[in-house]
Amino acid sequence: MIRGTERTIWSVLGTHMIRRVPATSAVVLAGLLAGCGSMNPTEDDIALNGEEVTKLINGNTFRGAWEGRQLTMVYYENGVVRGSHGLTGSDGGTWTVDEDVYCHRWTRLFGSTRRCYKWWKRESDYLLQNVDAFRIQNMTGTIEPGKPPGF
């Protein structure tokens, strides 16, 4: 038996749509939840302090993904960072580590805005957790020794 509120929904959406909404919602929710866990620190991840971050990235290359595109960041000892994001071409900027927070500011990438992250060591890669007021997407990647050709 259909009650008042249910009858209104049935009349607006129809029986065909109502039957599909819960299944569709469940699939979308499962996909969102699956992606959330991998992009946030877990109890098994190890927070790096500022000295560890500086030693890790200084003169080395971060390779990962951000917003679904390949990201390369090459760190120079003088506080310069160069890299690329997808097919957008190369870009450059500066990087700093203050206390336990790593920050970078690029000429074009990341909206040319100073972005700050907490570094986490995970089982097979690193998680950069955004800690600034903008709360942009976190990123994951690996560190490769040295600089790739062209940088």
Q: What does 93-107 look like in DSSP terms, one character per residue?
A: EEEEEETTEEEEEES
- The fold for domain 46-144 equals Lipocalin (2.40.128)
pLDDT on residue 34: 37
As a whole-number percent, the residues of the chain with pLDDT over 70 amount to 75
Q: Say which residues have a Cβ less than 8 Å from residue 44's Cβ, sequence separation at least 6.
A: 122, 123
Mean pLDDT of the 68-89 span: 92
Q: Report the Cα–Cα distance between both ends of the chain, in Å, rounded.
A: 70
| Residue with token string 């009349």 | 11
Asked whether the predicted pLDDT for residue 9 surpasses 90, the reply is: no
Per-residue model confidence as pLDDT tens digits over 16-73: 444 444 444 433 333 333 334 468 999 999 999 999 999 999 999 999 988 888 999 9
This prediction's pTM: 0.71
